[in-house]
Amino acid sequence: MTNTLYPIFYGTRLVTFDVLRNTFEPRMHPEAARRGFNFILHQGGLFGIGSGFRAPGVQPVNRPGFAQPGRSFHEGQDFPSGRFYTAWDMVVVNPGFKHRAPSWSQVPRQGQQLALDYGWHMNIDEESWHAQPTELDGWGSWFLNGRRDLVANYPMRIFSPRPQPPQPPVPPIQPPTNGVIVEFTSRNLSEGAVGSDVKFFQRHLNDIAGQGLLLDGYFGPTTTRAIRNWQGFFGLTVDGGLGPKTQRSIIEVALQAS
Ligand SMILES: [Zn+2]
């Protein structure tokens, strides 16, 4: 794992295994983390994580492909051993472009040997990026089966790491460019605001946090939810507004991702 780098978020940023792990492990079920990170580690830098924990209620309601609020493994769920999240949306490096979702041919699909090797699978139709422990087929069946805990110490087959694919050079972290400074404004933004500065943050929330916002420069409820999601993930005060601290955190991550 020494020099191998892993994709993180939805831009082009690459990080060490430790950074990836430290970013996504808090609040995750320890057994899910054990399996998922072992899977990632032993795939030689092919996979990384686009998003993990998602605060409840931030996803669109009644949209195909999104779980109902409260019924996602991206949210903390009550297992006998505690309240944890257990699912990731994974990404792979897309040289020269933003990281992309893995294809079905790359992932441990439900029932396949690779899934059984790690107790970690992708099983949702049309979501080849969504990964979770093999016991968790869906929120409904988990709930109806009594919210069983994950099998501790799943007997993973630990492989030697794959031969390392050539790694793209690590992009240096650039100081802010004129473009960023011109676009950046420090006025406090909250729901109802309109402007190019709102659009600037919408674009970055899409690029680095996969929020899927319409780039309309209008600070509406969906933008508020995306910001609450961001704030929750990074441990900021969750108020749904774009004050100086939240603006700075988005820009800092965006600069590292660009
Ligand atoms: Zn997902």
Q: Mind giving me the DSSP string for 121-156?
A: EEEETTEEEEEEETT-S-HHHHHHTT-PPP-TT---
How many A from CA of 63 to the centre of ligand 1? Answer: 14
Q: 161 C-alpha to center of ligand 1: Å?
A: 26
C-alpha of residue 207 to centroid of ligand 1, in Å: 16
How far is ligand 1, taken at its centre, from the CA of residue 183, in Å?
32
Please report where in the chains the tokens 């790690």 appear, as a residue. 118
pLDDT of residue 94: 87
192 CA to centre of ligand 1 in angstroms: 29
Q: What is the pLDDT of residue 154?
A: 92
For strand 6-7 and strand 14-15, is the pairing parallel, antiparallel, or unpaired?
Answer: antiparallel
Contact 198, 183 (CB under 8 A): no
d(CA 215, ligand 1 centre) in Å: 22
How many angstroms is it from 226 CA to the middle of ligand 1?
15
- pLDDT for 169 equals 56
Q: Is the dihedral of CA 216, 217, 222, 225 positive or negative?
A: positive
* Distance separating alpha carbons of residues 144 and 166, to the nearest angstrom: 46
Give the model's pLDDT for residue 147.
Answer: 96
CA of 196 to the centre of ligand 1 (A): 30
Which of the 8 DSSP states describes residue 245? H
Q: Is 210 left (phi over 0), alpha (psi -120 to 50) or beta?
A: left
Query: What pLDDT does 57 receive?
Result: 62
- Residue 33: what pLDDT? 96
Query: What pLDDT does 44 receive?
Result: 86
CA of 53 to the centre of ligand 1 (A): 9
Residue 46's pLDDT is 92
Burial class of residue 237 (count of CB atoms within 10 Å of its CB; 0-12, 13-18, 19+):
exposed
Q: What separation in Å is there between the alpha carbon of 35 and the centre of ligand 1?
A: 17
pLDDT on residue 232: 75
Terminal-residue alpha carbon distance, the chain: 24
At CA 222, angle to CA 217 and CA 226, rounded to 5? 95
Residue 124 Cα to ligand 1 middle (Å): 9
Residue 182: the pLDDT is 32
* Ordered DSSP codes for 3-45: S--EEBTTSS-EE-HHHHHHHH-TTB-HHHHHHHHHHHHTTTT
Which residues of the chain register pLDDT less than 50? 1, 162, 171-183, 258
